[in-house]
Amino acid sequence: MPILKNKWWPLLALLIVLWSGFIGLSIANNKVDVKTQKEEYKVGERLPNTSVATANSIAPYRKLNWDELMPADWDPMKVLKGLDLSKLKDSDPRAMEALERVREAWKDSPIVFDLNGTRIEIPGFVVPLDVNYDSVKEFLLVPYFGACIHVPPPPGNQILHVLVPKTLTKKQQKTLKRAMLIYGTISISGTLATVSSNTSMGFASYQVKADLIEPYKPPNNLKNTR
């Protein structure tokens, strides 16, 4: 029976909150100034699955949901079976133990090979890999804020290694640089490959050769909820 992927994320979000309490993590103490973002995000917060960015290309891009990058029969939270996270308090050592079990189980997360060569559009949070933000060649895209920076990285099948083309317009370069500076949100369109990359900020199970890099625009029904 396929796993209901929308059920795994709330469990991980709760685990992140518990883990954050354990190490005394707070937005105010982060080096990244999230207040400079137009939309502020909490550590561990995920973007809506619906993408509304515009793909200015002759060939259409498939709007990809992050959960589609995980095989339907893979349960990322199986390792926590029998543990009721809702009964754990902030800074409970069992939260740290649970998170370590999750991290170990995610090292060899499976991928969806049928997606190889698919032209996709997907929104996410930027994790910089390049030091020079004026000449970015690559970066990671992840589904929730703080991944790889403030909280442990997601499964490899939830990390995209994005290769930046030399043909970016000045507008796209500006969008990317701003996102790099604040670990912000963008929407990318390009060709997905089932190629893994072991980067300094995490293991990515997929690679994307980007064609377009655009600002992320939340769905209309979410614009006034922050």
CATH H-level, domain 5-222: superfamily = Protein of unknown function (DUF3299) (2.40.50.870)
- Count CB atoms within 10 A of the CB of residue 23: 11
Burial class (CB in 10 A: 0-12, 13-18, 19+), 116: middle
Q: Taken in order 203, 4, 90, 25, is the CA torsion positive or negative?
A: positive
Quickly tell me which residue has 């137009």 as its tokens: 38
- The structure's pTM equals 0.78
pLDDT < 70 regions, the chain: 1-11, 13-44, 48-59, 90, 148-152, 220-226
Domain ranges of the chain: 5-222
pLDDT at 186: 95
Distance CA 172, CA 216 (A): 12
Predicted confidence at residue 19, as pLDDT, reads 60
What is the SS3 assignment for 77-134? CHHHCCCCHHHCCCCCHHHHHHHHHHHHHCCCCCCCHHHCCCEEEEEEEEEECCCCCC
pLDDT of residue 127: 92
Provide the pLDDT for residue 30: 41
